[in-house]
Amino acid sequence: MPNLYAMAQPLSKNVIRHLNSLKIKKYRYTHREFIVEGPKVVEEFLHAGWEAISVFTVNRDLLPLLEFEKIVLVSDGELKKISALQTPNSILAVFRMPETLPEEVTFNQWTIALEGIRDPGNLGTIIRVADWFGIGLVVCSPDCADPFNPKTVQASMGSLARVKLLETDLPSFFRLQATVPVFGALLNGTSYKEVDYPSAGILLIGNESAGISDTLLPFITKPITIPRYGQAESLNAAIATAIICSELSHH
Amino acid sequence: MPNLYAMAQPLSKNVIRHLNSLKIKKYRYTHREFIVEGPKVVEEFLHAGWEAISVFTVNRDLLPLLEFEKIVLVSDGELKKISALQTPNSILAVFRMPETLPEEVTFNQWTIALEGIRDPGNLGTIIRVADWFGIGLVVCSPDCADPFNPKTVQASMGSLARVKLLETDLPSFFRLQATVPVFGALLNGTSYKEVDYPSAGILLIGNESAGISDTLLPFITKPITIPRYGQAESLNAAIATAIICSELSHH
């Protein structure tokens, strides 16, 4: 397929408009394209085998891995016009969104299930946490932030290139797989330090303010909590996920 | 002192300009005022005894605690003009910055020391984590984000009202207090699960990308690390802080 982007140098208004439209979910899914920024994160996507459609950079030498014809050299001013970052970071790449869901969803390891994580930064941070602790699959309810939101992509620091994401209706998901226990992070439950973690299970994390909904409570086999020693009312959802993942990955 | 804000209804351009200037560090420190938004977070500051200079709200009933004359009723449109949030949340309050440092800095408990935490959201999240785990003091190097940055205030979710913050030169700080051990979070060290935590100590966390600087390494008595089971290159600084705090608070 011809590279539509590369035809325009300097960047045409149409190209700038198109790239900016990818900051909006609707257009990302219409075009099935998303944006990744910064040499390090772009490199991680290329390295993990994702298909770059085009790469805009102020310095060609930053991308030794990439085929030459996909690179468009831009000025700092042009990069600023297309970047989603406050401080653009040398490279903006457009990648193709995967058409298919993860082929085999297996539960012989730990999986994270997220209900209504709305903040794109939180979602990206959770994906990064999953990647650090070797958790290969994150299942998201339909009302979670979009994994291809630029803020999610950047907060994941490249981990989105490796961790599998599955968007699905959580009640059906829990009904279909009854084989592994579901550990739910709640404000009341057994301390996460006092439970035995099997080698496979699902860690369920609820919405940033409302927590896990009543609809999902019946699917929890083990309610767990992070003991509080001070006065904060709650912990950030990504923080809670990380604390529990660090414990269960030791078992 | 007369309430300058309350004189203007509808809000004058000068008041709007002044409130917007408080989003910039220089002006926050010139006026020694900072902004807090949302009924819940404002309530936490009032509850902890902080001095509200003025409160702008679309609904007076949201603030039962506050003396009436400090409240300015504004329209949704006016609130949008002064808010630092993408989606304004009913109330914006201006608080007076504390003039003094924490009076007694004692080390009979755990303290968090931060070197160059640049992201205001990370700093706010760390303050919230400290509050959850009952850590009363966070010491920041001068190149950390400003604790009174609106993003820090919001990410702390009110915990900034309770946790004491101290900005200081970290080498001098470590030289002056040699009585408690310093646990440094590094990529190489003993697993944070395998060490004994005393009842008092300092947890040192480094910059988001560079980690702890060579200047501070000699002050570390116990290098600790969070074992990695997957492929992410690093963990977010607030996430690392939380995982370690959760472990040390159990001891």
Q: pLDDT (tens digit, 9 = 90+) per residue, B193-210?
A: 999 999 999 999 999 999
Asked if A187 has any chain B CB less than 8 Å from its own CB, the reply is: no
Contact assessment for residue B204 and residue B113, using Cβ atoms and an 8 Å cutoff: yes
Nearest to A231 among B131, B234, B243 (CB): B131
Q: What is the DSSP letter of A110?
A: E
| Residue B184: predicted pLDDT | 98
Which among B187, B189, B194, B178 is positioned nearest to B223, based on CA atoms? B189
Cα dihedral: A171, A175, A181, A184 (round 10): 10
The HSE-up count of residue B101 (CA atoms within 13 Å, CB side) is 10
Which SS3 state, helix, strand or coil, does residue A126 take?
helix
User: Rounded to whole angstroms, what are the CA distances from B24 to B4, B90, B95, B241?
Assistant: 20, 22, 15, 27
Spell out the alpha helix ranges (H) of chain B: 13-21, 25-31, 39-47, 76-82, 120-132, 150-155, 170-176, 237-248
Give the minimum alpha-carbon distance from B241 to chain A in angstroms, rounded to a whole number. 9
Categorize the per-residue pLDDT at A205 as very low, low, confident or very high, splitting at 50, 70 and 90. Answer: very high
What b/e string do you get for B103-137 counting C-beta neighbours within 10 Å, with b at 16 or more? eeeeeeebbbbbbbbebbbbbbbbbbbbbbbbbbb
pTM for the structure as a whole: 0.91
Question: Which chain A residues are closer than 8 Å to B132 by Cβ?
Answer: 226, 228-232, 234-235
A184 Cβ contact list (under 8 Å, min separation 6): A204, A206, A212, A216, A217, A219, A220, A222, A223, A224
| Residue A67: predicted pLDDT | 65
Amino acid at B188: N
Nearest to A132 among B129, B232, B249 (CB): B232
Contact assessment for residue A56 and residue A91, using Cβ atoms and an 8 Å cutoff: yes
Distance separating alpha carbons of residues B166 and B162, to the nearest angstrom: 13
Q: Which of A90-99, B36-45, B53-62 has the lowest mean pLDDT?
A: B53-62
Asked if A85 has any chain B CB less than 8 Å from its own CB, the reply is: no
Asked if A10 has any chain B CB less than 8 Å from its own CB, the reply is: no
Nearest to B246 among A130, A226, A249 (CB): A226
Spell out the alpha helix ranges (H) of B177-226: none
Chosen from B209, B246, B249, B251 to mutate, greatest number of chain A CBs within 10 A: B246
Length of chain A: 251
Asked if A226 has any chain B CB less than 8 Å from its own CB, the reply is: yes
Chain B residue with Cα closest to A192: B246
The HSE-up count of residue B219 (CA atoms within 13 Å, CB side) is 27
In this predicted structure, the answer to whether residue A3 has a pLDDT above a threshold of 80 is no
The answer to whether the Cβ–Cβ distance between A130 and B230 falls below 8 Å is yes
User: Rounded to whole angstroms, what are the CA distances from A191 to A225, B61, B155?
Assistant: 5, 38, 25
Nearest to A232 among B132, B227, B231 (CB): B132
In this predicted structure, the answer to whether residue B64 has a pLDDT above a threshold of 70 is no
Categorize the per-residue pLDDT at B67 as very low, low, confident or very high, splitting at 50, 70 and 90. Answer: low
Nearest to A239 among B125, B227, B249 (CB): B125
What is the mean pLDDT of the segment spanning B127-147?
A: 96
Distance separating alpha carbons of residues B27 and B32, to the nearest angstrom: 8
Give the minimum alpha-carbon distance from A120 to chain B in angstroms, rounded to a whole number. 13
Question: Which chain B residues are closer than 8 Å to A130 by Cβ?
Answer: 230
Q: Which of A121-125, A167-171, B212-216 has the lowest mean pLDDT?
A: A167-171
The answer to whether the Cβ–Cβ distance between A239 and B129 falls below 8 Å is yes
Categorize the per-residue pLDDT at B68 as very low, low, confident or very high, splitting at 50, 70 and 90. Answer: low
In this predicted structure, the answer to whether residue B85 has a pLDDT above a threshold of 80 is yes
Nearest to A246 among B133, B231, B243 (CB): B243
Contact assessment for residue A180 and residue A201, using Cβ atoms and an 8 Å cutoff: yes
In this predicted structure, the answer to whether residue B54 has a pLDDT above a threshold of 60 is yes
What is the mean pLDDT of the segment spanning A232-237?
A: 94
In this predicted structure, the answer to whether residue A100 has a pLDDT above a threshold of 80 is no
The answer to whether the Cβ–Cβ distance between B230 and A121 falls below 8 Å is no
Asked if A133 has any chain B CB less than 8 Å from its own CB, the reply is: yes
B91-96 vs B110-114, strand pairing mode: unpaired
Q: Which two tokens stand for residue A157?
A: 């620091």
Distance separating alpha carbons of residues B18 and B27, to the nearest angstrom: 9
Asked if A83 has any chain B CB less than 8 Å from its own CB, the reply is: no
Asked if B162 has any chain A CB less than 8 Å from its own CB, the reply is: yes
What is the mean pLDDT of the segment spanning B174-188?
A: 89
Asked if B9 has any chain A CB less than 8 Å from its own CB, the reply is: no
Question: Which chain B residues are closer than 8 Å to A125 by Cβ?
Answer: 236, 239
In this predicted structure, the answer to whether residue B4 has a pLDDT above a threshold of 60 is no
In this predicted structure, the answer to whether residue A1 has a pLDDT above a threshold of 50 is no
Determine the straight-line distance between the first and last CA of chain A, rounded to whole angstroms: 48
Asked if B34 has any chain A CB less than 8 Å from its own CB, the reply is: no
Question: Which chain A residues are closer than 8 Å to B250 by Cβ?
Answer: 193, 227
Distance separating alpha carbons of residues B53 and B31, to the nearest angstrom: 12
Amino acid at B75: S
| Residue B62: predicted pLDDT | 74
A20 Cβ contact list (under 8 Å, min separation 6): A81, A82
- Count other Cβ atoms within 10 Å, centred on residue B175: 10
pLDDT tens readout for residues A162-181: 999 999 999 999 988 768 99
Contact assessment for residue B113 and residue B205, using Cβ atoms and an 8 Å cutoff: yes
pLDDT tens readout for residues A20-63: 999 999 999 999 999 999 999 999 999 898 989 999 999 877 77
Give the minimum alpha-carbon distance from A96 to chain B in angstroms, rounded to a whole number. 22
